[in-house]
Structure 1
Amino acid sequence: MNCLLIGLVCVSLGMLVSSEKNTYRLVHVSNEGIEIAQDIVHDTLENTVTVVIGDVSMYKGHEATVNFHDFNTGYVAFKDIRRQLCLLSKAPVPYATPDIYAQGRTNMTLDFDSKIDPVLMSHDDVIKIAGEKLAKFCQHYRTYFRTLIAKGRYRREISLRLRRCRFVCGVCYVQGNYMEMETL
């Protein structure tokens, strides 16, 4: 009986640890010295990461977003609350990088341009492409697919960085045409 009780306690503790959500505060410092604070929640059991970008209104060309990465499906959604937009993309980083999050500060950047498909996606479209979790995340927002394109000469470098991402990658910086977003 004692062995059974000890076994149940061990299994319960194991489940608690494996379902733990780890939270981090990460500050990304760009080459220009811009500091962007982020709150990160890494759910190891669900294999997801939620990133809340802090106030960036003082930086031209930056938008505050809430990002949800589902590493099971390989997709990420960038939610622009002010515009009520959800931009769905293939995740440029294939897995969570808790080693980077735990550092608290990084200057590592993966640089991307983007192209938004102007066709509004339905909730069912999002489920088919990226799964239930991302569909629920984008549910009350106008959702569009956004293709992320590695910037020019960095394309090969980014590909190499992604292969050893656990050690070197940090923040993905996506740049797009803001007029394109205004027309959505």
Structure 2
Amino acid sequence: MHLSALLCVLVFVLGVAFASDATEWSFVTTNNNGKRVGVVIGLKRRSMLLIPDEDKTNKRCSTRTINQHDFDTGYVAMKDPVKRSCWLKPLGERETYEETKRIIDSGKEMMQTDENWIIPKRYLKKGQVKREVGSLLADFCSDSDVYMLKRDTLGRTRRSRSCTRNCGICAVAAKHQQ
């Protein structure tokens, strides 16, 4: 009798644990320098999938990426499924589950901010990706060449790039309303 009650409690606890990590889907608008883009967000406690609408106004300078955030490892993978490239970078200190959930629940518009990163010439080996950022992002990028971005502290990318509209190098934060 005690064993069956214990099993029932265990099943209930496991059910709650698995249910709490369910994906919560949201449709939001982001603002990148005055340009509004629709975004689908799949948010879990440990990760977030971000899928922006296509930007048809500036095809030459815009790369549409699908972004997978891993809150546990502190990295985001930005994947261009057309070119089969995947870029990895550390999450910003405000890019957390709690902050993202707060922005979505508040109904505020999200703000994208450009960041300067350097893309190395060599891509990472598959085993190295898993060691550096874990299996979630390694699996997400498994069909692509993977590059670990390096922060551009000298501002080299701004001078050398003719195109600055690349969703592969954006961070998302809440838009401050005045």
Shorter chain as denominator, the TM-score bin is 0.7 to 0.9
Residue 20 of structure 2 aligns to which amino acid in structure 1? S
Match of 2:150 in 1: 147
Kindly provide the CA deviation profile for residues 14-34 of structure 1, in whole angstroms up to 9, marking residues without a partner as x. Answer: 2243122111111112332x1
> Which runs of 5 or more residues in structure 2 are unaligned?
156-171
Q: 1:130 aligns with which of 111, 122, 133?
A: 133
Shift of 1:62: 2.6
Q: Distance in 2 between matches of 1:148 and 1:120?
A: 16
Match of 2:36 in 1: 35
TM-score by length of 1: 0.70
Match of 2:48 in 1: 49
Kindly provide the CA deviation profile for residues 88-131 of structure 1, in whole angstroms up to 9, marking residues without a partner as x. Answer: 11122452211113345515333311210111111111011111
Greater relative contact order: 1 or 2 (C-alpha under 8 angstroms, separation 6 or more)? 2
Match of 1:19 in 2: 21
Q: Distance in 2 between matches of 1:23 and 1:107?
A: 15
Q: Distance in 2 between matches of 1:20 and 1:102?
A: 16
Shift of 1:12: 4.9
Match of 1:98 in 2: 101
1:44-123 counterparts in 2 under 5 A?
A: 44=45, 47-59=46-58, 61-93=61-93, 94-96=95-97, 97-123=100-126
CA shift in 2, pair 1:149/1:18, >3 Å: farther
TM-score by length of 2: 0.72
Q: Distance in 2 between matches of 1:134 and 1:38?
A: 20
> Which runs of 5 or more residues in structure 1 are unaligned?
153-167, 172-184
Match of 2:174 in 1: 170
Kindly provide the CA deviation profile for residues 18-58 of structure 1, in whole angstroms up to 9, marking residues without a partner as x. Answer: 122111111112332x11111111122xx011111111132
The alignment of Structure 1 onto Structure 2 pairs a total of residues equal to 153
RMSD: 2.9
CA shift in 2, pair 1:16/1:138, >3 Å: closer
Residue 141 of structure 2 aligns to which amino acid in structure 1? C
Q: Distance in 2 between matches of 1:125 and 1:6?
A: 42
CA shift in 2, pair 1:84/1:72, >3 Å: same
